[in-house]
Amino acid sequence: MHNLTITVIGCGNLGLSMIQGLIRNKQVNPKKITVTKRNITPILFLKEQGIKVTDDNIEAVKTSEVIVVAVKPYNLTHVFEEIKDVLDPKKHLVVSVATGITTDEIYEMIQKPLPIFRAMPNIATDINQSITCLYQRGSSVTDKEKVEWIFNNLGTTLQINEDLMEAATILGACGVAFVLRFKGAMIQGGIQIGFDADTAKTIVNQTVKGAAEMLIVKNDHPEREIDKVTTPKGCTIVGLNEMEHQGFSSSLIRGIVASFERIEK
Ligand SMILES: NC(=O)c1ccc[n+]([C@@H]2O[C@H](COP(=O)([O-])OP(=O)(O)OC[C@H]3O[C@@H](n4cnc5c(N)ncnc54)[C@H](OP(=O)(O)O)[C@@H]3O)[C@@H](O)[C@H]2O)c1
């Protein structure tokens, strides 16, 4: 078990899913974790696990070396304004998961030469299955190891350039919603052809999991595996082609690009 002291400022959807993941795999000592929120009532249950829960961001920062800021982007300025005086370049490193806020903007807010990391995980941190894209500035090898260690405990990590952070948000973080909507549609189709909702969900869950794992394990391209499933004149190719006539791939690509254009504004 690692002895890193970690504070998560803004324990909402993502912050909480990160904490759940960290305590689930028992790699982090819960007593070394502090979480904050202005209204702490919904997260008081974390105290039972030994985690410190507070609405005092300044005290939380003083007790930890890794400061993960997980508030909405529009709350970031206020949070950094509040904690910047207690941020110590010799002690702290800051990890921002906020969408669309650059390291230049963060340095502008904190006015101190701290190591700054941008991380783009997704809510599968909850079950240690996130992909987290990372970018860092002003960090030592040890700082980088610490942050990678945290996010590798929550899934896998990938180093990217900062100018790809918004694209990472769309593909990796919003991507969870895209995949879930796709699964929802498959379940609806399954019900129409005869299964009850629960059975359809069970079949779809394992089918999607198996397809994803297959590409990961075999490091293969989807179209190669599709070729193996599509018998000439068979039902799979007929279904796939009908989906394409209805704009299946095109709608996914256009949705991803539309999300990206929105985030870039
Ligand atoms: N959700 C995702 O899948 C996802 C994925 C990747 C990145 N992100 C990024 O992660 C960040 C959080 O997203 P989210 O979906 O988790 O939002 P969220 O559910 O609204 O969580 C943010 C939390 O911050 C707290 N907060 C606001 N101001 C605060 C302050 N001054 N001090 C302490 N806590 C404060 C809020 O609670 P109180 O009002 O009670 O303080 C809220 O629970 C965003 O910047 C988003 O871009 C999210």
Same domain, 131 and 199: no
Q: Which domain holds residue 195?
A: 169-264
Instruction: Out of 94, 126, 160, pick the residue that ends a domain.
Output: 160
Q: What is the pLDDT of residues 193-205, one digit of tens each?
A: 999 999 999 999 9
Of the residues 160, 178, 197, which one is the last residue of a structural domain?
160
> Is residue 125 domain-shared with residue 92, that is, in the same domain?
yes
Question: pLDDT digits over 32-66, tens only?
Answer: 999 999 999 999 999 999 999 999 999 999 999 99
pTM: 0.94
Ligand 1 centroid distance, CA of 16 (Å): 9
Give the residue among 103, 251, 249, 261 at the shortest CA–CA distance from 170. 261
**68 C-alpha to center of ligand 1: Å?**
11
Asked if residue 180 and residue 137 are part of one domain, the reply reads no
- Which one of 35, 39, 71 would you pick to mutate in the ligand 1 pocket, going by the greatest count of ligand atoms within 8 A of its CB? 71
Cβ partners under 8 Å of residue 92, min gap 6:
61, 64, 65, 66, 67, 114
> How much is the pLDDT for 1?
55
pLDDT in tens, 216-250: 999 999 999 999 999 999 999 999 999 999 999 99
**133 shares its domain with 192:** no
Q: Is 130 helix (H, G, I), strand (E, B) or coil?
A: strand
**Same domain, yes or no, for 153 and 180?**
no
CATH of the domain at 126: 3.40.50.720
pLDDT in tens, 141-197: 999 999 999 999 999 999 999 999 999 999 999 999 999 999 999 999 999 999 999
What is the predicted pLDDT for the residue at 51? 97
